[in-house]
């Protein structure tokens, strides 16, 4: 499903539970005169929770890796969950079909530089090369688009903020799933700390991370959470994505 806002087309699949909640409330997405009401339809016999569902954006860095990323995509599809993938450009070759599958499933796709480098150490020319080469590869596979940047290691400075041609996506929950293969520890590090509006950082290149991620999804779905892409999270908070802005958590507005 595609919806429009002031920034143009925002592509992705609405989580079914959240879509029905929005429809039942008769709401449209934020965007002023450019906002489009959501189409009515879909399954009617669904028990709706009272009040807005808590939102969470699950994100993955350092891929793609055909074996683990492919298994993750299968698990997310079974659960009807969308997420956001920040891809390393040097790992894209040989995974073109997987990336097309990723996009077709409604996941947001972004850039994690070409060589997973510390971008604060780069000149402007090298920064543009790291981001531009990756964007060019994604554009060849998926067509031109807004491929947002996640800085490796989450480190930025004023120069990076100035050079960025789109939003910069960080995170608010980090289970450090790269440290070990203890799935239980990883799951607990997320589920014991997550709250409405969090952006969760994980990595889709480890088997243990994939196992943990799918377990986390199951637990949070049972708690009533709706999984959205980062772009969707910003939109659903009534905001417009801004060039050069850092995004971590997006909490609901206080009553």
Give me the mean pLDDT over the 46-63 stretch: 80
Q: For residue 7, what pLDDT is reported?
A: 33
Q: For residue 14, what pLDDT is reported?
A: 60
Give me the mean pLDDT over the 98-116 stretch: 98
For the chain, helix (H) and strand (E) counts, in that order, are 8, 9
Q: For residue 254, what pLDDT is reported?
A: 73
pLDDT of 149 above 90: yes
Task: Give the dihedral of Cα atoms 154, 166, 251, 30; nearest 10 deg.
Answer: -170
Burial of residue 184, with CB atoms counted within 10 A of its CB: 0-12 exposed, 13-18 middle, 19 or more buried: exposed
Q: Any residues with CB less than 8 A from the CB of 161 and at least 6 apart, and which?
A: 168, 244, 246
Mean of the per-residue pLDDT values of the chain: 86
Q: For residue 157, what pLDDT is reported?
A: 98
Q: How confident is the model at residue 52 (pLDDT cuts 50, 70, 90)?
A: confident
Give which of 214, 226, 225, 221 is closest to 74, Cα–Cα: 214
* Alpha-carbon 112 to chain mean position: 13
Give the CATH number of domain 55-247: 3.20.20.370
Give which of 155, 149, 190 is closest to 172, Cα–Cα: 190
What is the pTM assigned to this prediction? Answer: 0.84
Q: Any residues with CB less than 8 A from the CB of 174 and at least 6 apart, and which?
A: 200, 201
pLDDT tens figures, 124-141: 999 999 999 999 999 999
Burial of residue 120, with CB atoms counted within 10 A of its CB: 0-12 exposed, 13-18 middle, 19 or more buried: middle
Chain length of the chain: 255
Q: How confident is the model at residue 175 (pLDDT cuts 50, 70, 90)?
A: very high
Give me the mean pLDDT over the 38-44 stretch: 32
CA separation for the pair 195, 181 (Å, rounded)? 24
Per cent of the chain over pLDDT 90 is 78
Q: Which of 50-64, 66-80, 100-114 has the lowest mean pLDDT?
A: 50-64
Per cent of the chain over pLDDT 70 is 80
Active-site residue list = 61, 203
């Amino acid at each position: 499903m595609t919806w429009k806002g002031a920034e143009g087309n925002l592509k992705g699949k609405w989580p079914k539970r959240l879509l029905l909640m929005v429809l039942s409330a008769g709401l449209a997405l934020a965007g002023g005169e450019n906002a489009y009401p959501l189409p009515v339809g879909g399954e009617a016999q669904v028990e709706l929770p009272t009040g807005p569902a808590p939102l969470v954006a699950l994100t993955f860095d350092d891929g793609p890796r055909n074996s683990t990323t492919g298994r993750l995509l299968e698990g997310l599809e079974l659960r009807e969950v969308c997420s956001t993938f920040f891809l390393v450009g040097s790992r894209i070759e040989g995974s073109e079909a997987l990336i097309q599958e990723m996009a077709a499933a409604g996941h947001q796709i972004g850039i994690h530089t070409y060589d997973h480098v510390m971008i604060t150490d780069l000149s402007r020319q090298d920064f543009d090369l790291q981001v531009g080469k990756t964007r060019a590869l994604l554009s060849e596979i998926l067509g031109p688009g807004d491929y947002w940047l996640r800085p490796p290691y989450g480190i930025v400075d004023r120069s990076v903020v100035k050079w960025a041609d789109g939003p910069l996506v960080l995170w608010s929950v980090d289970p450090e799933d790269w440290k070990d293969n203890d799935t239980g520890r990883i799951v607990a590090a997320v589920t014991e700390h997550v709250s409405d509006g969090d952006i969760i950082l994980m990595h889709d290149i480890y088997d243990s991370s994939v196992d943990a991620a799918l377990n986390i999804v199951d637990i949070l779905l049972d708690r009533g959470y709706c999984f959205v892409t980062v772009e969707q999270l910003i939109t659903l908070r009534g905001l417009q994505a801004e060039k050069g802005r850092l995004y971590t958590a997006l909490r609901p507005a206080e009553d």
